A and B are shown apart, each in its own frame.
Chain A
Amino acid sequence: MNRQRSTFLITILCFGYAFLYIPIVMVVIYSFNDSRIVSVWGGFSFRWYLQLLENRQIIEAALLSLRIAFVSATVATALGTLAGLALARMGRFRGRILFTGMIAAPLVMPEVITGLSLLLLFVSLQDLVGWPGGRGAATITIGHITFSMAYVAVIVQSRLMSLDESLQEAAMDLGGRPFRVTLDITLPIIAPALLSGWLLAFTLSLDDLVIASFVSGPGASTLPMWIFSKIRLGVTPDINALATVIITIVSLGVVIAGWLMFRQEKQRQRDVQ
């Protein structure tokens, strides 16, 4: 009985994972395909990777994406940390749940709506104050900051919730002023949470197509935007190679973030003892 159920479970599990990963594995495999026709296997080769390196458009789009991701993740981490600290610090006040909920709302907001509202904001700002002069890298960065900041704030706040408040009180008791205590005690202890927040913001930004498409201007194409425009003309094998590179980078990010969170959880359990 028990054994039967376990084979049944394993079968389901295999189906689930196959469903998730076979498309990705296909992309990776076909990126090494020597044939020009995507769906026909023509032997193993690195030629699409080499071709990637020669394609200036791809390189430029990739660099732009990385730059935007780096800047937006950094700013979002700073702002999100401040928001998380403020929410956790203010203690129990009326409407706290509302504020906590409001900071998490962008997480569930459809991207189309976020993109559209940001576009409207930029357009009307331009009419009112003449800034931003045109849409491009700067507006994409701002767009990415707004939604990834929410992720960072949620991560930081939940870490702070589980932080023993008496640590900060003890530091104050020993003569640390509240601001110094945040620098000396709070931030170092929650540093792993900040780093995983940063990595999450970074991958979210690399990933984003919808918001970037809304708020970008003619000059600036991020990597996902470039790929999307290319796909419309048909899939070429070099896109498989590009996708494989992106998959590698993103999974590295996710693995590092996960490892950090795991280590932090273990540390927390040790602190509790």
Chain B
Amino acid sequence: MARWLGLALAIVLWEILARLNAGSFVIAGPIAVADYIYMNTGLLGRALGATFQAAVWGFLWGNLAACCLACLVVLFPRTERVVNVFALLVFCLPLVATGPILRVLYGPGAGPQITLAALAVYYTSYLALLVGLRAVPQSWMDLVQSYGRGSVTTLLQIRLRASVPYLIAALQIGAPVAFLGAMVGEFTGAERGLGVLTLRAMRGLDVDATWAIASIATAVSVLAFQVFGRLGDWLQTDRPTLLLSAAQTKNGPAAWQRVLTAAAIALLVVVVWQVLMDVFGLNRFFAKRPADVWTYLISGSNATAARETLFAALGQTLWLTFPGYFAGLLLGAGLAAAVVILPGVAAAILPVAVALRSVPIITTAPLIVLALGRGSLGTITIVAVMIFFPTLVACLQGLRQTPGQVHELFQTYAASRLRLLRLAQIPAMLPAFFAAARMAVPAALLAATTTEWLATGTGIGNLMALTASTSDYNMLWSAVVVLALIAMVFYMAVEVVEQKVLAVYASEQVRR
């Protein structure tokens, strides 16, 4: 009841804001949006149908891939290192640039949208499943082993079932993300779908249409999020807090060994890339090989010019991504901590934040650009907003991890709230915070590049849009490689900081 009242209040507020800003062509109120939807039901319905279908297929494929990878790693732990790096690398591929390449590889159809939706969801599911498959008490594994049964039986009888709550939590997060992935796929040149309508509305400066589409995308995402929440309730699974733990850090191998493994994996990636292209006999004009990118960026005659263009654009993008990234993280964690000091507020904020977390920020990017303009502030805000909600939710959940006994222990000493926060709750929050910070790296780059692609006309997002339309596939592939590498380097950098910090403040959380 209170929830519906809140919703009604928000809608009224939205309408009032729209009325106040009438004439500025920034905000379309709920009445205008409803009117637009009513007038264009057929068009919007068909577009929604196309996007929804692509999202569902991508969601299924992405999760299937995640399941296979996680089972592989659990059955053959030795593969973990390689699988992790591959999984991360694929996760770090810049979706906006991958879109046009997939477009030429697949030809017409929904293939690229589906693939992007799958790419967007699979990594979270993979990490969640890995945690879930392993979150099994030793005694259950002993039980299976005491009957002389092996790891396959453990997987089938114990691990798979035990990981269901984790899988559902991941599916819940993944459902809106799949929708987002499908829309990003459509931004890069599909025939149908909400993404296509978004582009059209933006180019035509059609405020009503932009708001209507963003509202629909938001509604669908929130709905998908709720549906999986209900599914979890219905299956009566407990809802574990998803702490996507750091990739394994056996403190075994020496530095030179790790460098060697990294080099081996890099070589493997190059080989796989080459072999994939050759096996499918893909045209060299648009399906570039590792050697092409090398020639284009390093050894070719125009390499210097190409590098300059690429890195200048990259510089512009990173210059906006970083402030947004840190602002999002700090605001998310800060608000989470503030909320805890004020008791009761957390309980009220968490459901709202969880719901807002599922809003596909990218689809609201056009709105933010409408409001804040095409300058740097708009981009920074979009990046920050994109990261803010997942961080807030993760931190609030992390804060709730502080065991009840610890609270009571502090109470017996009459410790102040601030002291409790500093000594018990923030350490409990740190693992969740860093997990969010890691996952936010590719998300931040995605937000920045998509905004550039759609709206601002600067940075590497714009460069990729240009090269995609002029069929400059050398530059496009180079951009993909460089962006993926950068995302990976930052992801790993966050991981290093994470391990250093957790080793001090939450040593029991560092997996050895």
Genuine A/B complex: no
Q: CB within 8 Å of B: which residues of A?
A: none
Q: CB within 8 Å of A: which residues of B?
A: none
